[in-house]
Structure 1
């Protein structure tokens, strides 16, 4: 079992708040910490945003890939 510093269940937030909460949670992570993102669809557009905003500062690992539930480990890399 992996340990996560924070968990964001995106299904619990209205659409206009989802990305705000996810990015705020990521920003609060210390280097080498990770968060768990839970979503009801593949968060590929979110990954593109991470690549644009945090290039070379995160890692992305699918723990579960659907079809109804997606769980992604998003880690903050040490620089």
Structure 2
């Protein structure tokens, strides 16, 4: 089920992960957070997989739409 979309490309790097984690925490079970980023969010994927029990890594998806635009979905169990 779709959920919110957040674009973190304009945020300083130090503010990105806290904003993403807060948005993910606000999701209901079965929803997904769509993230727009300026690089492949693979490090965030590994962080979420290791630290967030509610993250569903099987449903994760990322698409590179431009050289500096990656759109990823982070589903919540």
TM-score of the alignment, normalized to the shorter chain, above 0.5: yes
TM class by shorter chain equals 0.7 to 0.9
Gaps of 5+ in 2: none
Do residues 32 (structure 1) and 30 (structure 2) align? yes
The residue that corresponds to 1:53 in the other structure is: 51
What's the TM-score once normalised by structure 1's chain length?
0.81
What's the TM-score once normalised by structure 2's chain length?
0.83
Gaps of 5+ in 1: none
Aligned residues: 74
Match of 2:21 among 16, 20, 23: 23
Return structure 1 stretches of 4+ with deviation > 4 angstroms: none
- The alignment yields a C-alpha RMSD, in angstroms, of 1.7
